[in-house]
A and B are shown apart, each in its own frame.
Chain A
C-alpha cells in the first residue's frame, strides 16, 4: 500500500476562496472539525480578483430595491434558464451575508448616512453592489480569512491548539475523491511543496474550487482555475449542468499581449465610463436586444441624465448584461471599428475628474499605469472580451448544495444553476457567501445525520489510494522509461496546455458553430491521447511541470463537457452564442444539459469520457412566476407555459 500521511476531519472543504471559507466557517460554528485544502497559500484564492462588488438588495442607496427586484434581475440576466430556487434564496439572503461580514470587521465604502454604499452594475435595476473601491474581492477574502483566524484563536483559548477544529492545508492539491459504496469517504492529494501524498478522510466534502478559465487562452482567471471541482465531481459520480454557458467578460485588457485578458472592472461603466468604437461612437445604443427594449436609454442625453436621476431616465446600454456587451464588442471589432490593438475604447477620462477616478477605481488606475503605460484619467482604455466565469457547474440541490453523491457538496463558481445562461456582475460574491454558508450547513447536517442514525462513516479503501498514487506518478514513470515504445519522446505539459487553450479559445469561444465544435472535440480527443504520453522532468518537490500535467486531466475533462454541451444546444442564449442558431428558442428555455461520466465504451482512467443528456428544469413556483409581467415572459416562454401565469396567457 502507498505510504501516505493521513488526516481526519468531519468536513473537508476543497478550495479556500469565498465559498470554501464561508462553508468552513459555518461547519466549524456548528461544532464540527473542518479541514480546508487549497492549492495556493491561504488568502490568495481567485476571489481576491473580484473587483466591482457584491450584489445584495439592502436598499441603502435605492430604497425601492427588494429581494424580489434582485430575483427578477437575476432571472432576466440568466435568460430565465436559472435554477429559480437558487436565484430566490440568493436574492433573499444576500443582505444578511453582507451585513454579517461587517460584524467580522469588513470595511465597505459608506453612504452619507454611514451605511454600506451600493454602486450601479450591468443588469441590476438599482445601485446594489456593496463595494470597497474596486477591490471588493480582496475585502471579502481577507474578512473571511480573518474570521477563520478568529475562530482558531477561540479554539486555542479553549483547547490549547489553534488547529483543533479548523485547519488549513495550504499549497496542497487534491487529485481524486475517494468513495465507499458510492458515498464520499475522503480525498487524495499531494503537497505541492514536497510532492508527498496525503489522504483526508471525511464523511462530508465540500467542493469550492472555482472555475475553468485556464482552459482558455484569453482569460481573467488565475492558474488555479483548472476545473478541478467539476472534474472531481464527475469522476466521483456526480453530474454537471449548463456547461455550455461560459461568460466572456466584455472588458479585459487587450494590450500589451502579456496582460491580454486581465480584468477591467464593470465598475468603470457603473461609475460613468462609456464604450466607444474607433469612430468615437457610443455603439452600445445600437445593440439593445428585443428582450430588453424599453428598459434602456435610447439617447446619449437620457443615458447621461440617468446617473443623477434614475427615476425619470433609463440606464445606459453600456450597462446591459455582460453577454450582450461582449457580443457587441466582438461585432464592432469584426466589422472593422475596433481600436488599434483589436479591442474597443472604454472612456472614463472624459467623464469624471481625475481625482474622482483615482478614488473610485484605484486598482484600475494602478493596473493600466503599471502594465500598459496608460493613464486612465487622461486617455481611454483599450478593452475586449475575456473568458471570465463559468455559469455551468456541479448539479446541486439548491437548499443544501448536496450533489447526487452522498456526502459530496458544492458551492460557488464550481456549482451550477444559480446564474442560468449568464451571470450578472456582482452576483458571484453574493453567491459565494449565500451558498457557501448553505453548503456548510448541508455538510454539517449530513455528518450529524450519520451520527444520529448510528451509521458507520464511509471508509477509505487502500486500493483506491494506491490507484490514485499510481495515476499521479505516471508522468514520472514515463520519464524514467525514457522514450516510449513508438520511439517518441514524451509530451511537454506546457505545450499540451497551450494547445488546449488555443482549441477552446478558437473553437468553443464567444461565437460558436457546429463545425467548429465538432473540430474542437476532435482536437480534444487528440490531446487526450497525447496526455497519456506526458512526461515531466525533475523530482516531486515543488515541480510546476508535474502539477500542470495533473491539472491537465481536469482541464481536458471539463473542456469536453463544455464543447459537448455547446454542440448540443441549438440556440443562442446568454453565454452560449451559436452563429448557426442565432436566436433564443423558447423550446430550449426549460431544458438543461447534464454532463456525466460515460460508463460504456473503452475506459480511460486518466481522463474519463463524458456524455451529455437533456433534462427538464422544474417550472417556476407560481408566486415567483407572478412577480413578472406576462408581457416580459412572452419573450422567453412558450405559450403553453404561460397559462401558469395569473394573468393567464392564451392557451
Chain B
C-alpha cells in the first residue's frame, strides 16, 4: 500500500519504432494517486519529453491505454495503491500496435476497421421524432455503446496480439461488438449476420474472454456481444433444417 507520500521506482519503456528500453525513474507517489499522476510528475521534473497519450484523466475518453506489468490498463484509472511495496511497476506501450514513441502507439488499425463496419440503417419512412423504442430493447445495445474506445480489448486479443497476419481478416472485439450493437439495435434494418463471419472475422474468436476481462467499462463483450453473434451465425449456417431447406431449393434452381 502506498502511504500518504512514498518514493517508488517506476520502470517506463522509452524508445521509438526502431529501438527502446526500460528506464528507471525514482519518483514520489502521493496518497490517492493513479499511475498517470506519477508519470506526469516524471514529465514535469525528470523527463519533459516523455510521450504519453492522455486526455480526460477521468476514465471517460479511453486515451491513456498502456500495459502495466504486462496487463492492458488505463493509466488514469489504475491507482498506485494496488501495488505493494514489493511489486515492480513496469509500464510499457500497447503491444499489438506499432510504437510511435515511448508509451504512444499507432492505433490507426482501429479507425480503419471502424470504417469497414456498415453504418446504422434507419427504417425507411420513419421521420425524426417518430422513433419509439422500449427501454428494455435499447439496453442491450446501450451496454455496448458504453465503449470508450480505449482499444484495450483489441490489444489483449490473442488473435492479433502476436499475429500481425490476422489483422487484415479480423475486426477485433471492439468492432465485432459494434456489429452486435447494430444487429441488436431495435430499429436497424440491415442484416449483419453474414458479414460478421465472412468479412469481420468473428470465426477467429474462440471466446477466451480476455477482452471482457480488460474492459474498463465492465462491458460483457464475450457473453453479451460475441457469443450471441456466433449463435446467430450458427443458427443461420449450421441449423440442419435450414441447411436441408437451402440444399433442396438450390437443387430446384
B45-61 near A? 1/0 per residue, CB < 8 Å: 10011111111111111
A43-59 near B? 1/0 per residue, CB < 8 Å: 11010110000000010
Complex formed: what's the CA distance from A620 to B142 in Å?
Answer: 42
A494 to B43, Cβ gap below 8 A? yes
Complex formed: what's the CA distance from A135 to B188 in Å?
Answer: 22
Check: B120 CB closer than 8 A to any chain A CB: yes
Complex formed: what's the CA distance from A144 to B210 in Å?
Answer: 29
A114 to B132, Cβ gap below 8 A? yes
Q: How far is the CB of B59 from chain A (nearest CB, A)?
A: 7
Given the known interface contacts A223-B55, A257-B32, A538-B48, the answer about A110 and B138 at a Cβ–Cβ threshold of 8 Å is: yes
A100 to B128, Cβ gap below 8 A? yes
B58 to A49, Cβ gap below 8 A? yes
Complex formed: what's the CA distance from A576 to B31 in Å?
Answer: 34
B134 to A262, Cβ gap below 8 A? no
In the complex, the chain B residue whose C-beta lies closest to that of A101 is: B128
Complex formed: what's the CA distance from A308 to B208 in Å?
Answer: 47
B50 to A153, Cβ gap below 8 A? no
Check: B95 CB closer than 8 A to any chain A CB: no
Q: Which residues of A contact B37 (CB under 8 A)?
A: 258
A139 to B48, Cβ gap below 8 A? no
A538 to B49, Cβ gap below 8 A? yes
B48 to A493, Cβ gap below 8 A? yes
Q: How far is the CB of A147 from chain B (nearest CB, A)?
A: 8
Q: Which residues of B contact A366 (CB under 8 A)?
A: 59, 218
A494 to B102, Cβ gap below 8 A? no
Q: Which residues of B contact A372 (CB under 8 A)?
A: 32
In the complex, the chain A residue whose C-beta lies closest to that of B104 is: A542
Complex formed: what's the CA distance from A421 to B188 in Å?
Answer: 42
Check: B172 CB closer than 8 A to any chain A CB: no
Given the known interface contacts A107-B141, A146-B120, the answer about A543 and B49 at a Cβ–Cβ threshold of 8 Å is: yes
Q: Which residues of B contact A350 (CB under 8 A)?
A: none
Given the known interface contacts A44-B62, A100-B128, the answer about A542 and B101 at a Cβ–Cβ threshold of 8 Å is: yes
Complex formed: what's the CA distance from A495 to B53 in Å?
Answer: 20
Complex formed: what's the CA distance from A114 to B138 in Å?
Answer: 10
Check: B242 CB closer than 8 A to any chain A CB: no
A99 to B128, Cβ gap below 8 A? yes
Q: Which residues of B contact A543 (CB under 8 A)?
A: 48-49, 51
Q: How far is the CB of B237 from chain A (nearest CB, A)?
A: 26
A107 to B51, Cβ gap below 8 A? no
Q: Which residues of B contact A107 (CB under 8 A)?
A: 133, 138, 141-142, 145, 185
Complex formed: what's the CA distance from A42 to B146 in Å?
Answer: 16
Among the interface residues A95, A498, A543, which one has the most CB atoms of the partner chain B within 10 A?
A543
Q: Which residues of A contact B141 (CB under 8 A)?
A: 107
Check: A647 CB closer than 8 A to any chain B CB: no
Check: B129 CB closer than 8 A to any chain A CB: yes
Check: A529 CB closer than 8 A to any chain B CB: no
Within B121-152, which residues are at the interface with A (CB < 8 Å)? 122, 126, 128-129, 131-135, 138, 141-142, 145-149
Given the known interface contacts A43-B149, A162-B115, the answer about A494 and B134 at a Cβ–Cβ threshold of 8 Å is: no
> How many chain-B residues does the 8 Å CB contact rule pick out?
61
Q: How far is the CB of A28 from chain B (nearest CB, A)?
A: 14
Given the known interface contacts A109-B135, A492-B48, the answer about A152 and B56 at a Cβ–Cβ threshold of 8 Å is: no
A544 to B60, Cβ gap below 8 A? no
Q: Which residues of B contact A542 (CB under 8 A)?
A: 51, 100-102, 104
A153 to B119, Cβ gap below 8 A? yes
Check: A455 CB closer than 8 A to any chain B CB: no
Check: A580 CB closer than 8 A to any chain B CB: no
B183-204 near A? 1/0 per residue, CB < 8 Å: 0010010000000000000000
B128 to A110, Cβ gap below 8 A? no
Complex formed: what's the CA distance from A363 to B133 in Å?
Answer: 23
Complex formed: what's the CA distance from A42 to B118 in Å?
Answer: 18
Q: Which residues of A contact B213 (CB under 8 A)?
A: none
A258 to B30, Cβ gap below 8 A? yes
Within A494-510, which residues are at the interface with B (CB < 8 Å)? 494-495, 498
A525-555 near B? 1/0 per residue, CB < 8 Å: 0000000000011110111111000000000
Check: A132 CB closer than 8 A to any chain B CB: yes
A224 to B55, Cβ gap below 8 A? yes
- Cross-interface CB contact of B114 among A113, A149, A259, cutoff 8 Å: A149
Complex formed: what's the CA distance from A48 to B135 in Å?
Answer: 22
Q: How far is the CB of B194 from chain A (nearest CB, A)?
A: 18
Q: Which residues of A contact B115 (CB under 8 A)?
A: 149, 152-153, 156, 162
Q: Which residues of B contact A117 (CB under 8 A)?
A: 135
Among the interface residues B49, B79, B104, B133, which one has the most CB atoms of the partner chain A within 10 A?
B49
B118 to A153, Cβ gap below 8 A? yes
Q: Which residues of A contact B30 (CB under 8 A)?
A: 257-258
- Cross-interface CB contact of A262 among B58, B114, B148, cutoff 8 Å: B58
Q: How far is the CB of A170 from chain B (nearest CB, A)?
A: 8
Complex formed: what's the CA distance from A140 to B170 in Å?
Answer: 27
Q: Which residues of B contact A262 (CB under 8 A)?
A: 57-58
Q: Which residues of A contact B33 (CB under 8 A)?
A: 256-258
B119 to A48, Cβ gap below 8 A? no
A433-448 near B? 1/0 per residue, CB < 8 Å: 0000000000000000
B57 to A545, Cβ gap below 8 A? no
Given the known interface contacts A110-B134, A142-B145, A371-B77, the answer about A44 and B61 at a Cβ–Cβ threshold of 8 Å is: yes
B77 to A544, Cβ gap below 8 A? no
Complex formed: what's the CA distance from A149 to B175 in Å?
Answer: 13
A150 to B48, Cβ gap below 8 A? no
Q: Which residues of B contact A538 (CB under 8 A)?
A: 48-49
B146 to A258, Cβ gap below 8 A? no
A150 to B135, Cβ gap below 8 A? no
Check: A556 CB closer than 8 A to any chain B CB: no
Q: How far is the CB of B34 from chain A (nearest CB, A)?
A: 6
In the complex, the chain B residue whose C-beta lies closest to that of A153 is: B119
Given the known interface contacts A41-B107, A494-B48, A536-B49, the answer about A49 and B56 at a Cβ–Cβ threshold of 8 Å is: yes
Check: A650 CB closer than 8 A to any chain B CB: no
- Cross-interface CB contact of A44 among B50, B55, B129, cutoff 8 Å: B55
Check: B63 CB closer than 8 A to any chain A CB: yes
A49 to B48, Cβ gap below 8 A? no
Among the interface residues A48, A153, A258, A542, which one has the most CB atoms of the partner chain B within 10 A?
A258
Q: Which residues of B contact A193 (CB under 8 A)?
A: 100-101, 104, 106
**Top 8 A-B residue pairs of the complex, sorted by shortest distance between their CB atoms:** A256-B32, A538-B49, A105-B120, A545-B48, A150-B119, A114-B132, A99-B128, A494-B44
Contacts A40-B61, A99-B129, A256-B31 supplied; 15 other A-B pairs, CB < 8 Å: A49-B60, A49-B61, A103-B131, A110-B133, A114-B132, A132-B142, A135-B60, A142-B145, A222-B56, A259-B58, A367-B58, A493-B48, A542-B101, A544-B43, A545-B48
- CB-defined A-B contacts under 8 Å, sample of 8: A132-B142, A139-B145, A193-B104, A257-B31, A257-B33, A262-B58, A536-B48, A544-B49
Name B's A-contacting residues (CB within 8 A): 16, 30-34, 37, 43-45, 48-63, 77, 79, 100-102, 104, 106-107, 111, 114-115, 118-120, 122, 126, 128-129, 131-135, 138, 141-142, 145-149, 182, 185, 188, 218
Name A's B-contacting residues (CB within 8 A): 40-44, 46, 48-49, 58, 95-96, 99-100, 102-105, 107-110, 113-115, 117, 132-133, 135, 138-139, 142, 146-147, 149-150, 152-153, 156, 162, 193, 222-224, 255-259, 262-263, 362-363, 366-367, 370-372, 492-495, 498, 536-539, 541-546
